Amino acid sequence: MTDLTVFVAGLPKAELHVHHVGSASPRIVAELAARHEGRSPVPADPAALADYFAFKDFAHFIEVYLSVVDLIRDEEDVRTLTYEVARELARQQVRYAELTVTPYGHVIRGIPAGAVCEAIEDARAAAARDFGIQLQWIFDIPGESGLPAAEETLRIALDERPDGLVGFGLGGPEIGVPRPQFKPYFDKARAAGLHSLPHAGETTGPQTIWDALRELGAERIGHGIAAAQDPELLSYLAEHRIALEVCPTSNVRTRAVPTIEEHPLAQLVEAGVLVTINSDDPPMFGTTLEEEYAVAARLLDLDQAGVAGLSKAAVSASFLPEAGKQQLLAEIDSYTAAQNQG
């Protein structure tokens, strides 16, 4: 039987909660920082980025994240970033990813919305051709920018509507950013056929998740770890098969959870909630999707079949068309069977 680390490395995967800019590798961030040296606090030395990405709390994380967004000045930067993110995901045997893109952050920095959408679509086609990975987009509202950002994100989603767009989300801080105020925007996005995929219950309590469900029509919850505090909410999520996009290392690095040992992942799984494992902003948090699977395997005491089950859960909770889901699920089963014979 194959060692679990080797098994995870080769396992076909889906990634449902990973941010576009937050996935920029140290090499790409350093190249962009060098291009804009003197105009940005971001270090142009890849080795110095680990210290720069040492977050004091969630508010500090948002501050640092936005400083990296500032480095992306034109559509070529957007195209390069997207293509390189796809390369890294494909290296980890990710066959399908729903990448969270925040077009508002680029548009207010002077890149036209149409150019942003064209750049990510160009990269999507190139990634499928070169790496065999399928990307789809979730356009999210940066919560810290309020209702003007919601209005503009909705406009871009509906007017530009790139081919890969499947979801409408809400990211950024939760504290001081109540979910119900975004209901009109989610209503319109859902009416246009986009899936509702907001973040909730990462740094606040269960009520934020209830609000995302009741007010925003959430079909999956980004993070959602606060559900562990509410037995009624756990039952609701389990009964309605509403998946949580759990990102263990991220929760520790942003201080949402004190230590990895205190992470509520096991409690969520024991309650019957559909859980997917994701990397969020992997280079910023010093992790990869492979490492997140290893963390989950340790916290849940999983064998190879259990780890394969996590990958299958992500496929099932995804918005990949049904034929693609069945193909990827079959590939996971085939891989697992082959490893067990080895």
In this predicted structure, the answer to whether residue 52 has a pLDDT above a threshold of 90 is no
**pLDDT of 192 strictly over 90:** yes
pLDDT confidence of residue 71: 86
With 0-12 / 13-18 / 19 or more C-beta atoms within 10 angstroms meaning exposed / middle / buried, residue 90 is: middle
- Distance CA(340)–CA(342), nearest Å, equals 5
Predicted local confidence at residue 2, as pLDDT: 66
pLDDT tens sequence across 200-255: 999 999 999 999 999 999 999 999 999 999 999 999 999 999 999 999 999 999 99
Over residues 9-34, mean pLDDT: 90
The 10s digit of each residue's pLDDT in 258-285 is 999 999 999 999 999 999 999 999 988 8
- Tokens standing for residue 175: 């504290």
Beta strands in 107-263 (DSSP E): 134-142, 165-171, 195-200, 220-223, 243-246
Which of these is catalytic: 15, 84, 202, 215? 202
Is CATH 1.20.120.850 correct for 4-341? no
Tokens representing residue 143 in the block: 């919560």
Whether 313 has a pLDDT exceeding 60, the answer reads yes
SS3 2: coil
Task: Count Cα atoms within 13 angstroms, Cβ side, for 121.
Answer: 12
pLDDT of residue 27: 83
Q: Between residues 50 and 105, which one has the greater pLDDT? A: 105
Rounded distance, CA 272 to CA 261, Å? 20
Residue 147 to residues 11, 186, 236, Cα–Cα distance (Å):
41, 12, 29
Residues in the chain: 342
Question: How far, in whole angstroms, is CA 21 from its chain's centroid?
Answer: 11
pLDDT of residue 323 exceeding 90: yes
pLDDT digits (tens, 9 = 90+) for 21-31: 888 888 888 88
Mean of pLDDT values over 320-339: 97
- How much of the chain, in percent, has pLDDT values that exceed 70? 99
Q: Please give the average per-residue pLDDT across 99-122, as a whole number.
A: 96
88 labelled catalytic:
no
The string over 110-149, giving b where at least 16 C-beta atoms fall within 10 Å of a residue's C-beta and e elsewhere, is ebebebbbbbbbebbeebeeebebbbbbbbbbbbbbeeeb
Q: Is 231 exposed, middle or buried (0-12, 13-18, 19+ CB in 10 A)?
A: exposed
pLDDT at 342 (0 to 100): 60
> In this predicted structure, what is the pLDDT of residue 269?
98
pLDDT at 59 over 90: no
pLDDT for residue 55: 82
Q: Residue ranges of the domains in the chain?
A: 4-341
Helix (H/G/I), strand (E/B), else coil: 72: coil
Full-model pTM = 0.94
| pLDDT tens by residue, 128-185 | 999 999 999 999 999 999 999 999 999 999 999 999 999 999 999 999 999 999 999 9
Contact, 286 vs 87, CB < 8 A?
A: no
Q: What percent of the chain has pLDDT over 90?
A: 80
Give me the pLDDT at residue 38, please: 67
Residue 1 CA, distance from chain mean position: 31
Chain mean pLDDT for the chain: 94
In the predicted model, what is the mean pLDDT of residues 183-196? 98
Centre a 10 Å sphere on the Cβ of residue 192 and count the other Cβ atoms it contains.
Answer: 13
Q: Is residue 1 predicted with pLDDT exceeding 70?
A: no
